[in-house]
Amino acid sequence: MLSKKVDLNRLQEADTVLTPTYASRALSTDVPRYELPQEGMEPRLAYNLIHDELILDGSSRLNLATFVTTWMEPEVRQLMAETFDKNLIDKDEYPQTAELEKRCVNMIARLWNAPKDQDAVGTSTVGSSEAAMLAGMALKWRWRERMKKQGKPTDRPNLVMGINVQVCWKKFARYWEIEPRYIPMEGNRFHLNAEEAVKYCDENTIGVIAVLGSTFDGSYEPIKEISDALDRLYAENGLDILIHVDAASGGFVAPFIQPDLEWDFRVPRVASINSSGHKYGLVYPGVGWALWRDQEALPEELVFSVNYLGGQIPTFTLNFSRPGNQVVGQYYNFLRLGREGYTRIQRVSQEIALYLSDQIAQLGPFELISDGSELPVFAWRLKEETNFTLFDMADRLRSHGWLVPAYTLPKNREDLVVQRVVVKEGFSRDLADLLLKDIRQALQYFAAQPGYTPKQRDNSFAHL
Ligand SMILES: *Cc1c(COP(=O)(O)O)cnc(C)c1O
């Protein structure tokens, strides 16, 4: 007589292609976590297992915290997948990938108004952080050379910047043993200004970092004014201090939607600029760019020579091997979009940022500290203390899938809590309206709890 009882163990042992995916041993027992398993598993099982775990990550498209690209077209995804295997450093073996990098550097140099009579000087990097290390080193080398020529000591270099700089500059200062001089925020000044910048400079200053697009509120630092103030400093006491612009975000925004703003190589004291191709350059992570005004701005000793098809190609990077496909993605965007396409995309992001910031300001309890008119990024605070904080608001929005971070500002405004939205390609007006709906709903929830102020409740969400 046939037993109706199925021998599950025997079936799982088989684990053939006939086994239903989720009935397989790999997906019905626990998973190797910290020790390399003795045996492997079928590809589809490994795929499903890892794919499923990653469902727990937030949705990148609802991540309004990140500046990094979360949407690209299918065609470029395909192109990038086809070129996963290209190592960017193998310039000899993949000369065409190297050529695309060179084309990108030249296009960006012109976008940033580098002197036209010279070859563009620059390189791709993993991101703005690597670019910052390279540009910072160039400043240090140049300063040291200058000091040596004057017979002065070179053991106390410092770097002047706003306290709002991104962490990469704090790393740069520590790794390369440079005294960081952070200029604190004051009142409603949330970034570096010209007057403060020059106060912190002396003959040991290797440069001033100016940020085109502060990560805290999306505001632009006044680069032209800082340059003018440094000109006056030079005229007064001979201190010749250069600027590096950290345009991680703004480098691919300002040229398109604020073309008249002078922040780039048009400003004489700007020696170098970095930007993240994977932010408003609209490429998936990680690609960045570091460019110098001219050959003179990049000390020769920092550049290594790599053999390239019988010739010598200069390289200046921290990494050796690096994916080439991100440079391919960047070049695709440049060809596909052109100036016009980038302008349209960044303008739409800005329109949505302005719309959303205006709507949020009208809700009642919030006050904007920036509105998205520089980077398409804005931040707000609570007008007065009430029964919830912006951290609570971030929590409630998270329960709908939105990642809208709340954080305190740095020195001297640690008292101020703000919440920020980064608008970028892929965030539509429709998504903006859905976010607004969820913010209103959260406010309605808080308003129904004891201790809510203002007592006279705002009408803008009463209808809900
Ligand atoms: C994001 C950012 C960085 C770091 O850039 P990565 O490309 O993430 O390394 C540096 N500076 C500013 C102003 C940024 O916004």
* 62 belongs to a structural domain: no
Q: Looking at the structure, do residues 247 and 355 belong to the same domain, yes or no?
A: no
Write the CATH number for 411: 3.90.1150.160
Q: Give the model's pLDDT for residue 208.
A: 98
In the listed set 333, 365, 399, which residue is the last one of a domain according to the structure?
Answer: 333
* 39 belongs to a structural domain: yes
* CA 303 / ligand 1 centre spacing (Å): 23
In the numeric block, which tokens belong to residue 89? 């450093």
Q: How many domains does the chain have?
A: 3
* 3 belongs to a structural domain: no
Q: Looking at the structure, do residues 324 and 426 belong to the same domain, yes or no?
A: no
In the numeric block, which tokens belong to residue 56? 């727990």
Q: Which of 63, 134, 168 to mutate to test the pocket of ligand 1 (most atoms within 8 A of CB)?
A: 168
Cα distance from N-terminal residue to C-terminal residue, the chain: 67
* 135 belongs to a structural domain: yes
Write the CATH number for 266: 3.40.640.10
Q: Give the model's pLDDT for residue 92.
A: 83
pTM here?
0.93
Q: Looking at the structure, do residues 210 and 317 belong to the same domain, yes or no?
A: yes
Q: CB of 274 closer than 6 A to ligand 1?
A: no
Q: Give the model's pLDDT for residue 306.
A: 73
Q: Looking at the structure, do residues 272 and 362 belong to the same domain, yes or no?
A: no
Q: Which of 124, 129, 326 to mutate to test the pocket of ligand 1 (most atoms within 8 A of CB)?
A: 129
* 65 belongs to a structural domain: no
**Which domain, by its residues, includes 366?**
346-463
Q: Give the model's pLDDT for residue 460.
A: 53
Three-state helix/strand/coil letters over the chain: CCCCCCCHHHHHHHCCCCCCHHHCHHHHCCCCCCCCCCCCCCHHHHHHHHHHHHCCCCCHHHECCCCCCCCCCHHHHHHHHHCCCCECCCCCCCHHHHHHHHHHHHHHHHHCCCCCCCCCEEEEECCHHHHHHHHHHHHHHHHHHHHHHCCCCCCCCEEEEECCCCHHHHHHHHHCCCEEEEECCECCECCCCHHHHHHCCCCCEEEEEEEECCCCCCCECCHHHHHHHHHHHHHHHCCCCCEEEECCCHHHCHHHHCCCCCCCCCCCCEEEEEEECCCCCCCCCCCEEEEECCHHHCCHHHCEEEEECCEEEEECCCCCCCECHHHHHHHHHHHHHHHHHHHHHHHHHHHHHHHHHHHHHHCCCEEEEEECCCCCEEEEEECCCCCCCHHHHHHHHHCCCCECCEEECCCCCCCCEEEEEECCCCCCHHHHHHHHHHHHHHHHHHHCCCCCCCCCCCHHHCCC
Q: CB of 166 closer than 6 A to ligand 1?
A: yes
Round to whole Å and give the CA distance between 272 and 54.
39
Chunk the chain into consecutive blocks of 10 residues (it has 464) and report each block's average pLDDT, rounded to whole numbers. Answer: 58 67 86 91 94 91 95 97 93 90 95 88 96 98 97 98 97 97 95 97 98 97 98 97 98 98 98 98 97 92 76 81 96 98 98 98 97 98 95 97 96 96 97 98 94 64 50
Q: Looking at the structure, do residues 437 and 403 belong to the same domain, yes or no?
A: yes
Q: Looking at the structure, do residues 24 and 85 belong to the same domain, yes or no?
A: no
Q: Looking at the structure, do residues 22 and 87 belong to the same domain, yes or no?
A: no
Which residues is 421 bridged to in the sheet? Answer: 378
Q: Which atom of ligand 1 is nearest to the CA of 214?
A: 13
Q: Looking at the structure, do residues 269 and 293 belong to the same domain, yes or no?
A: yes
Q: Give the model's pLDDT for residue 261.
A: 98
Q: Looking at the structure, do residues 85 and 199 belong to the same domain, yes or no?
A: yes
Q: Looking at the structure, do residues 144 and 281 belong to the same domain, yes or no?
A: yes
* 2 belongs to a structural domain: no
Q: Looking at the structure, do residues 247 and 105 belong to the same domain, yes or no?
A: yes
Q: Looking at the structure, do residues 45 and 136 belong to the same domain, yes or no?
A: no
